[in-house]
Each structure stands twice: as C-alpha cells, then as structure tokens.
C-alpha cells in the first residue's frame, strides 16, 4: 500500500471515531466506498445502529465483538471469546485489504488491540503493506505506537485540554 494513503488519528481525547467518520463522509461525497471495522467498542446501541445504517450501501460498518461490556471488565473466559471475535474482525480486514473491496478502510480503535497484546505493531505494519495501492486506510486509537510512525503518511493527534472555568 502506498503510505500516502495511511492516516492515524490518535490521542487520549474524544473525537477520534468522529474524525474518522468525517473523513469517510468526505470520501462518500466524492463517490468512494467506505468500510469501517470497529474494535474494542462492544455492540452497537440501537440509536447508533440506526444512524449508521443510513450511510449504507456506500459505507458499511462492522463490529465483530458480541458483548456490550468494556473489554477490561470481562471475565477471563469472556475475554477469550471476544478475542476470537476480534481476530475474526482482523481476518475480515485483511481480506478487504487483499481484495480492494473498498476505497477507504477505517480500522477504528485497532491501536487499542496493542494494549491487550491481541496484535503486534508488526501485524499492523503487514496490514498496511498488504493493502491495495490506491486504498486509503485510517487507523484510530488512544496511543501512537512509535514503531508505526514510519509506516504512515499522516498523523492527527486529538488531545483533551482542561479548561479552568473560574
């Protein structure tokens, strides 16, 4: 994949997914197709699902996790089951990258999988390299892995700034 097409949106602040969706809407407006695969988000609420379904068929959003509880609150057995689901999502992402199934692939919160050692930086670098040359790829997550900086073209940092209201 041409690294000019790879963008990371990261930081501890809120808005990474919204920023990725904003980029997706820009691309949809230009006639491009978008697939978003979300990780570490649990299941969609009915309101989220209803809103996002309106973007179909140009944009498709997938979540492979089955439980609504945050990953860190799951029992060991539930974590093992969710890791299988997450790996199914990663396999799907690799299939999309290999086949060029869309113009823009968003891997929302994929960087969070590094914290739980579900994937490695090398796995992400391989995904970037194995993608179709003209496909754009957007990765989101809280932490910017130093080992990925050379593999991407653009990095957007979202930061929370406390405002003193005295």
- pLDDT of 46-65, one tens digit each? 566 677 778 788 899 998 98
Strand order in the sheet with 136-141: 59-63, 34-38, 104-108, 136-141, 6-10, 154-157
152 falls within a domain: yes
User: Residue 106 pLDDT > 70, yes or no?
Assistant: yes
User: Residue 26 pLDDT > 60, yes or no?
Assistant: yes
140 falls within a domain: yes
How high does pLDDT run on average in the chain?
Answer: 89
164 falls within a domain: no
Q: Which domain holds residue 7?
A: 3-157
Rounded distance, CA 144 to CA 123, Å?
15
pLDDT of residue 76: 92
40 falls within a domain: yes
| Total tally of structural domains belonging to the chain | 1
pLDDT of residue 1: 46
pLDDT of residue 130: 85
Q: How many CA atoms lie within 13 A of 155 on its CB side?
A: 16
CATH number for the domain spanning 110: value is: 3.40.50.300
As beta bridge partners, residue 38 has: 63, 108
Contacts of 37 (CB under 8 A, 6+ apart): 61, 62, 63, 64, 89, 92, 93, 96, 105, 106, 107, 108, 110
pLDDT of residue 13: 78
48 falls within a domain: yes
121 falls within a domain: yes
Q: Which band of pLDDT confidence, cut at 50, 70 and 90, is reported for residue 38? A: very high
Distances (CA, A) of 138 to 81, 94, 145: 26, 14, 15
Rounded distance, CA 7 to CA 165, Å?
34
Rounded distance, CA 23 to CA 18, Å?
9
pLDDT of residue 133: 81
84 falls within a domain: yes
Whether the Cβ atoms of residue 20 and residue 164 lie closer than 8 Å to each other: no
């Amino acid at each position: 994949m041409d690294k000019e097409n790879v963008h990371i949106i990261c930081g501890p602040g809120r808005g990474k997914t919204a920023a990725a969706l904003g980029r997706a809407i820009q691309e949809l407006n230009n006639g491009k197709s978008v697939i978003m695969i979300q990780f570490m988000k649990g299941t969609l609420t009915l309101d989220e699902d209803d809103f996002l379904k309106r973007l179909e068929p140009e944009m498709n959003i997938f979540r492979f996790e089955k439980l609504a509880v945050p990953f860190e609150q799951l029992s060991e057995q539930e974590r093992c089951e969710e890791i299988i689901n997450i790996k199914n999502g990663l396999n799907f992402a690799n299939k999309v990258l290999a086949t060029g199934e869309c113009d823009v692939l968003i891997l929302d919160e994929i960087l969070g999988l590094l914290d739980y050692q579900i994937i490695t930086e090398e796995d992400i670098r391989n995904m970037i390299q194995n993608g179709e040359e003209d496909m754009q790829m957007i990765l989101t997550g809280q932490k910017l892995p130093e080992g990925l900086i050379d593999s991407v073209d653009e990095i957007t940092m979202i930061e929370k700034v406390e405002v003193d209201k005295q």
